[in-house]
Amino acid sequence: MKQFPLHSLKIDRSFVKDITFDPCDLAIASAIVALGKGLNINVVAEGVETEAQLECLRQLGCAEIQGYFFSPPLPAKDTIKLLKKHQSVPG
């Protein structure tokens, strides 16, 4: 991996979905975060839908999080409105 020009790693939503009660998914997410930190690469968690998932990922040290917890997919003009309305991430 260190030979490729990677800028970020993603934690797939399939691991995020059950992260709060499946120890295997938690271990995989934790390993991805550790790998990203070790290689100085951003880690993005996909598919976050609940506050419990968000808190778990934050505790692991995952700084970039996306999913329906924040908003469904939006057209660009609506995204700008959303960003202007909410200047910071909850929590």
pLDDT at residue number 3: 75
Choose between 59 and 84: higher pLDDT: 59
pLDDT above 90 for 2: no
Higher pLDDT, 27 or 87: 27
Which long-range contacts does 34-41 make (Cβ < 8 Å, 24+ apart)?
35/1, 35/9, 36/8, 36/9, 37/61, 39/1, 39/2, 39/6, 41/6, 41/7, 41/8, 41/9
Residues involved in catalysis:
46
Structure tokens at 1: 């991996």
23-82 tens-digit pLDDT? 999 999 999 999 999 999 999 999 999 999 999 999 999 989 999 998 888 888 888 887
